[in-house]
Structure 1
Amino acid sequence: MVRTVFVAPDVQARGIGKLLMVEIEHTARERNIPSLTLSSSVTAEAFYARLGFNGVRDNYHGDERTIVMERLLKDPT
């Protein structure tokens, strides 16, 4: 479970978030973790989708909607 990944607004759109997620995936693969799951904000959904995450379900906390997303980690052979 990926809890939170944030990039400071003044340095967004420079590939930092993608690099962070690549490192998280690398660590998960080293530990034989079969999938990554996270709770995405609506605004970050497209970012995670570009990284191969798929929406699993919506969660609501009052009026706030988040999207549970998952990426299966297949053997990169």
Structure 2
Amino acid sequence: MQYLIRRATPGDAQAISKVVIAALRESNARDYSPEVITRIGQNFCPAEILKLMQQRQMYVAVHEHLVVGTASLDHAVVRSVFVNPGHQGRGIGQQLMARIKEAAIVAQIQELRVPSSLTAESFYAQLGFAKVRDEFHGDERTVIMALRLDD
């Protein structure tokens, strides 16, 4: 199924926040403690989303006028790729990542990096990203992954 992938607007902040929080609570909760999920979730309230929009190229996936996914490009770093749990497994994340890759190529970025959650590591690996190293922020472990774009 094809979803509309477009740049996020300030009017999307509330919906993006809901998508991220739902994905954290349902999908990421398998790999992270409730404390980590709560701490990460605090970074994605609507006001914080609006701030992030000023710093990143933020995109949304829309289905029937509802935001069901989001992804951002922060220079050469992929950030905040989340899909509503009820819509996961339908290719939305792949479509968002294709848009991120297009934006990176236009910006002449030669290598994309992503600080992947444990939950999403296999998703990024399927897209060609390779593990570089693990990173720890207290009790939160992320997997730094990279994808060469000039190959």
TM-score when normalising by structure 2 = 0.48
Kindly report which structure 2 residues correspond to 1:1-77, keeping only aligned pairs within 5 A, or say none: 1-74=77-150
Count of aligned positions: 75
Q: Rg bigger for which structure? A: 2
- Aligned partner of residue 39 in structure 1, secondary structure: strand
Structure with bigger RCO (C-alpha 8 Å, 6+ apart) = 1
1:4-43 per-position Cα deviation (integer Å, ceiling 9, x unaligned): 1100111000000000000100111111111111100111
| Partner Cα distance (1:35, 1:4) in 2 | 18
Q: Which amino acid aligns with 1:29?
A: I
TM-score when normalising by structure 1 = 0.91
| Partner Cα distance (1:66, 1:26) in 2 | 25
Sequence identity of aligned pairs in percent? 53
CA positional deviation for 1:63? 2.1
| Partner Cα distance (1:50, 1:14) in 2 | 15
RMSD of equivalent CA atoms: 1.0
Q: Which has the higher helix share?
A: 2
CA positional deviation for 1:2? 1.0
Q: Which runs of 5+ in 2 are unaligned?
A: 1-76
| Partner Cα distance (2:80, 2:129) in 1 | 15
Q: Which runs of 5+ in 1 are unaligned?
A: none
